[in-house]
Structure 1
């Protein structure tokens, strides 16, 4: 019988793996307006393809000085999307997505983390919302052409309109419109994170057997978290407010989530502009609880923690340090 636990989840050594789970041949120069329109069209087509196509591929994820190789299998269908992500290097971890439910299997801890989230995605979490959502805060251009995983690709730049968010460079398959490669860029153009397919096959059908985990989790401890979309959240549910955030950011989810080293579930809010995402965790500190303050960075993921009124507030996201610092410092109890 599996043991259910909703308090703490042991996650040593899992940061890079989770980060992946919670985003050339020179082309002919074109005028800016037409290039921007073509780039926006490609991004919309890429977002649709990531949901509508069946594919099986191997990708490499680089973050800071760490690199992981993974296999991803995606099945589209009228009953929702299904995905399986398998780590091919390091610990034999797996992530299974069935619709909006995501299960993360950690054999080194004999643990499974289950999250029910409206934003439940694996590789497609690196893809933007429809272009209308992000067009006011980013500029778009087709930079050039390239080849990735043996496929011809357009290279699309997504350039932020301010210094409060990062830029992106996307390689879009000219045939299927799937994303073949993605790089997260800071304001100096330095690559902070990279996802790249080394093999990719688009299929008519995906057998259900390919989507089943090799780990049953029968003797594992199961940790469950839940989240509500903004539409489901009642005002009475929200105990905290974020009084500052960059233009275009809105709260997309609110809920309770288990965290390592915490004896009670913490308040968890997710904010997004349709592309960048910031999570804010608010934890009541107990007498023997470990606390942290200040900044930390891993690749493109920045974290900033502050203490306020017996609570620890932690903001984490793939945005510049200034953004998470200002958001963390702006969290206040709701009147």
Structure 2
């Protein structure tokens, strides 16, 4: 216990004294703050095609971590997370589509719990200080060491370390995505009455994951030679499309960026897709291999999407 107290004091002092302690401790503090503090606020999310406000409530009771995110404009959408498990509720005119996700980090908890994992692929640089949502913030840049990832700019709360604002910039310094609190506050209550979806109970609920015992057990394909730093963080099989079909869905991450890989067999009456495009802040790469549609999507450089697409090997013929 004494060692923990000393460590926390050292961490707090380092945040106010550049160069005295390891500068990466600023990101350690930011990562811990997003997971250990209890807070509620509203942040504005923006990419090249979309701007929306999102309300977040986050609680850590000392044993478990709970969060609820609600999109305040457009189609109703909520995400509830407990630890590493997340449930997403998407409402349309008739249904509520429910998805289970694991391992994905959302603002402001976008830094990995283990900061050591990103030191080999990013460099750290400090800049000026600014006020965000009425609070003093230190600007920090995470600059990529290669072409497979973008530049991250963080505004870290000087008192608590929480990320108050984040920008993702491409290699020409153009903003790709941004999230920024316009309201934020801490709370100390342990009440979990808010931890439930606020969706229309009269709509039909549809789970679009396939139970594990219905997923074919034979080897599907081999994935090798991923871009440096990227690792598989989840793999599920879900039903997708206007004519529902089984789709294998992988998620890869370098600790900050997330890329989705979708693979499905192509029905005889369905036209395949090939080529590259951009949708909002994401690049999309599509190709066909042995009767299967391969689709890779992510807010990462185009070269990263291409390399992940080409990492699929030994695809079983359809």
TM-score (norm 2): 0.84
Find the partner of 2:180 among 193, 196, 200: 196
Where does residue 171 of structure 2 map in the other structure?
A: 187
- The answer to whether the aligner puts 1:319 opposite 2:304 as a matched pair is no
Output the CA distance in 1 between the equivalents of 2:255 and 2:163.
17
Alpha-carbon distance, 1:123 to partner: 2.6
The runs of 5 or more residues in structure 1 that have no matched partner are: 1-27, 229-235
Matches within 5 A, 1:121-132: 121-124=105-108, 126-132=110-116
Q: Distance in 1 between matches of 2:104 and 2:152?
A: 21
Does structure 2 retain, via aligned residues, the 8 Å contact 1:35–1:142? no
**Deviation per residue, 1:112-146 (Å, 9 max, x gap):** 313042x1544356323422101001000111111
The number of equivalent residue pairs is 296
Candidates 38, 54, 67, aligned match of 2:38: 54
Q: 2:145 aligns with which of 136, 161, 165?
A: 161
Residue 323 of structure 1: how far off its partner (Å) = 1.1
Instruction: Give the distance between the partners of 1:163 and 1:184, measured in 2 at CA.
Output: 14
* DSSP-derived class of the 2:189 partner: coil
- Cα deviation, residue 216, structure 1: 5.0
Does residue 330 (structure 1) correspond to residue 311 (structure 2)? The answer is yes
Per the alignment, do residues 67 and 157 of structure 1 end up closer, same or farther by CA in structure 2, a change over 3 Å counting? Answer: same
- For 1:171 and 1:225, the matched residues in 2 are separated by 37
For 2:209 and 2:143, the matched residues in 1 are separated by 34
Distance 1:210 1:108, change over 3 A: same
Cα distance, 1:44 vs. partner? 1.0
Question: How far apart, CA to CA, are the structure 1 residues paired with 2:117 and 2:225?
Answer: 20
- Specify whether residues 216 and 328 from structure 1 end up closer, same or farther in structure 2 by C-alpha distance, changes over 3 A only: same
RMSD (Å), alpha carbons = 2.6
Task: Answer yes or no: is 1:220 the counterpart of 2:204.
Answer: yes
Contact 2:79 2:86 in 1 (8 A): no
Q: Report the counterpart of residue 245 of structure 1 in structure 2.
A: 226
Contiguous gaps of at least 5 residues in structure 2: 1-15
Query: Whose Rg is larger?
Result: 2
TM-aligned CA deviation for residue 218 of structure 1: 4.9
| TM-score normalized with structure 1 length | 0.80
